[in-house]
Amino acid sequence: MPGLVVFGRRWRIASDDLVFAGAFELFIRVIWWICILVLYLKKGLFMCTGGGLLHSYLIVLLIFLAAIILTLSAVVYVSMQGSISNSGPRRSIPALIYVRTLLYVPELVWAVLGAVWVSNDSPGCDKSVVNAVIGAVVASWIILFFTVVAVLIVFDPLGSKRQGYLVSHGDRDLQSSQSAQLMYRARSLAARVWESRIKLLCCCIMQEKDNRAAFSSIGQLFSDFFSDTDLVASDIAAGLSLLHQEQDKVEKSRDPEEVVVSPSPASHTRDDLDVELENAAHYMQFAVAAYGWPMFVFSNPLTGVCKLSRDCCRSRSPEYDIVGGDHLGCNFTSMLYTTGLQYRDFIYISFHNKIYEIPFFVALDHKKEAVLVAVRGTLSLQDALTDLSADCENLLIEGVCGPCYAHKGIMQAANYIYGKLINDGILNQAFTIAPEYKLVITGHSLGAGTAAVLSILLRSAFPGLKCYAFSPPGGLLSKPLADYSKEFIVSVVLGKDLVPRLSIPNMEDLKRRILRMVANCNKPKYQILLRCCWYEVFGGNPDDLPTELERRQQRSPSYHSLESKHPPLYLPGRILHIVEEVTTGRSCFSQVRYRAMWSSEALFCSVLISPKMITDHMPDHVLKALNSLTQDSNLNVI
């Protein structure tokens, strides 16, 4: 921070990112130089055909390596100076990079000469000498190859435009109209570059109209998010590490008895929570089953393949034709194992998957006397693009006052399933078989968000429906809709799960906090990253980091430009939060204990950095926690 500017453009690294890469190459070069020196001092080395040429080759190679070692030492040393935000002590890095780049030219020429000597003048020379020269030539080509790869990785397609924008942005005399035009062109180019990147990543997806619209929308979203900061990837990693330790410090200083919960209505009693936990544990099995065979094999790595292989390839009897849908195969077999249902209990199964069109199934749950709709979570690139279509779209519901809008991608996915259920008569078929049953909708992750919006769409036709949303995305519903959904939706969140805290305003707040942390810390980045690795792997006490701006209020325009342009979105329904009980002296193999509480949406208005922020989102972890709570006779319920 800021990005490194060399060769007239900005790159996706900073001047303090060369410590580890430079130190690694320096280590290789020193070993290489020592080996060549030992070889040069070997007696009788040049008593062969081409010995004179070999003598000159090794001397020049030693000189080249010494020059490279000195340059790399200077690069590493200078790159270690200063802090993330204070790049002044590293101002000589561009000049050192130019010197190092020039040294690649004679190194390449000398590698070619070494190859020529091996092929023409090496006969009669000691075999170890020939092998050493071959090794030197191969090592040179390998280093050159990885250098090219590294350049491609850190190349920023917007580098020249962004550098021009930064220069003009700092020119106070530039007319406002020129500045606005330049900014518009830069942001338009950035949006196109992001769109191209997404298309390249999703090259296997058919380029249909909805897909192109999604690519454009997501490209614009990423462009807007990253356009007003000059952070590189390592800055973000260092900022996340500092923020994690800061959050851990706050958590450790908090009173253990202090718990943040929502105001408890009369309905939020212990009995009510016991019932909802039991229901959640039951319906979570269906949310897991919606993932099909991949989640079954992931959850049962030793036996899953064997169980499925016995049935999924077996020819089915004509009775199986009553199950609608497509591309079942092993997916249907895994559903039977996960849910414990019979094949006759399934009304409809679809694994059709496109952007805004996600798999789901409808089944009869006789244990709970429910017609159950389970929606699959994210499991494909199409699902990920649906997740990332995070703009707002109106969702007008009769009787709900105030602004009503929802996550665009999830709302379109819910409309797709709504059309299938109502227009294709799937729910009508299910309730013809079991007219006295209630309607329950469930899902995990993307499936949870879709289930929540779907339940809102169906509420007027099915007033008694219930929805259990497991780990739903945080940026889902406007406040009036979130409050309205508390009557019939229960959201279940495990620990520090990232996804229920994900929304555009929350991510912009995270960006602000990262900027503040990296600006305030006066330690070099390499020390922060080393400490981060140690802290994440071995634990310990969070660093009490000194700061350069500790007592100064931040006045940087970068911070003030980060006000969110997007309206806040919230989790649906009542929020049932499951957390691990903090116990001292617990061994690595002891069983984890959990406690459950009704929580407020205010608890999910910021991203928590933790090694478990991803694992707490996994459906098998959520199911394990729910089963642990329902099986434990001494529930710690708040």
Burial of 293 (0-12, 13-18, 19+ CB in 10 A): buried
State whether residue 217 is helix, strand or coil: helix
- Phi then psi for residue 354, to 5 deg, are -140, 175
* Range of lowest pLDDT (30-39, 426-435, 532-541): 532-541
* Per-residue pLDDT at 634 exceeds 60: no
* Range of lowest pLDDT (4-18, 300-314, 396-410, 518-532): 300-314
Residues of the chain with pLDDT > 70: what percent? 80
pLDDT for the residue numbered 1: 67
pLDDT for the residue numbered 589: 58
pLDDT for the residue numbered 563: 54
Over the Cα atoms of the chain, what is R_g?
Answer: 30
- Look-up: residue for tokens 């499991």? 379
Mean pLDDT (whole number) for 384-409 = 91
- Which helix (H) or strand (E) is 441 found in, with range? strand 438-444
> In CATH, which superfamily holds the domain spanning 265-501+568-577?
Alpha/Beta hydrolase fold, catalytic domain (3.40.50.1820)
pLDDT in tens, 575-609: 999 999 866 555 555 678 899 999 999 899 999 99
Q: Which of 83, 334, 389, 445 is catalytic?
A: 445
Model confidence at 266, in pLDDT bands (50, 70, 90)? very low
Burial call 91-115: b when 16+ CB within 10 Å, e when fewer: eebeebbeebeeeeeebeebbebbb
Decide which of 379 and 119 is more confident: 379
Average pLDDT taken over every residue of the chain: 83
- Phi then psi for residue 405, to 5 deg, are -150, 165
Most trustworthy range by pLDDT among 36-40, 192-196, 223-227:
36-40
- How is the chain split into domains, by residue range? 3-156, 162-226, 233-250+506-548, 265-501+568-577
Model confidence at 186, in pLDDT bands (50, 70, 90)? low
pLDDT for the residue numbered 150: 93
In angstroms, rounded to a whole number, what is the distance separating the alpha carbons of residues 451 and 372? 11
Pairing of strands 346-350, 360-365: antiparallel
- Phi then psi for residue 464, to 5 deg, are -95, 10
* Range of lowest pLDDT (88-92, 536-540, 630-634): 630-634
Decide which of 626 and 543 is more confident: 626
Decide which of 141 and 314 is more confident: 141
- Phi then psi for residue 492, to 5 deg, are -115, 125
pLDDT for the residue numbered 251: 82
What would the 3-class secondary structure string for 12-64 be?
EEECCCCHHHHHHHHHHHHHHHHHHHHHHCCCCCCCCCCHHHHHHHHHHHHHH
- Nearest partner of 420 among 473, 373, 477, judged by Cα: 373
- Phi then psi for residue 570, to 5 deg, are -130, 165
Most trustworthy range by pLDDT among 196-210, 278-292, 498-512, 524-538:
278-292
pLDDT for the residue numbered 586: 53
Task: Locate all alpha helices (DSSP H) within 202-329, ordered by sequence.
Answer: 209-226, 233-253, 270-289, 293-299, 304-311
Model confidence at 566, in pLDDT bands (50, 70, 90)? confident
Pairing of strands 9-14, 3-6: antiparallel
In angstroms, rounded to a whole number, what is the distance separating the alpha carbons of residues 20 and 95? 19
Mean pLDDT (whole number) for 378-392 = 91
pLDDT for the residue numbered 129: 73
pLDDT for the residue numbered 255: 59
445 is catalytic: yes
326 is catalytic: no
Q: Give me the half-sphere count of Cα atoms (radius 13 Å) on the Cβ side of residue 575.
A: 26
pLDDT for the residue numbered 66: 96
Burial of 343 (0-12, 13-18, 19+ CB in 10 A): middle
In angstroms, rounded to a whole number, what is the distance separating the alpha carbons of residues 417 and 443? 13
| Sheet with 360-365, edge to edge strand ranges | 346-350, 360-365, 370-375, 438-444, 466-470, 489-494, 574-580, 594-599
pLDDT for the residue numbered 584: 55
Q: Which of 497, 503, 599, 616 is catalytic?
A: 497
Pairing of strands 360-365, 370-375: antiparallel
Model confidence at 111, in pLDDT bands (50, 70, 90)? confident
pLDDT for the residue numbered 311: 66
Model confidence at 133, in pLDDT bands (50, 70, 90)? confident
Residues of the chain with pLDDT > 90: what percent? 48
In angstroms, rounded to a whole number, what is the distance separating the alpha carbons of residues 4 and 290? 47
pLDDT for the residue numbered 565: 72
pLDDT for the residue numbered 303: 84
In sign, the C-alpha dihedral spanning 452, 455, 457, 463 is negative
pLDDT for the residue numbered 152: 92
Q: Which residues pair with 370 in a beta bridge?
A: 365, 438
- Tokens coding 305: 């393949």
In angstroms, rounded to a whole number, what is the distance separating the alpha carbons of residues 604 and 239? 20
* Range of lowest pLDDT (138-152, 205-219, 241-255, 312-326): 312-326
- Nearest partner of 557 among 166, 13, 4, 11, judged by Cα: 166
pLDDT for the residue numbered 268: 52
What are the angstrom distances between the C-alpha of 287 and each of 167, 374, 396, 617? Answer: 52, 6, 27, 13
* Range of lowest pLDDT (173-187, 352-366, 530-544): 173-187
- The one-letter code for the residue type at 316 is R
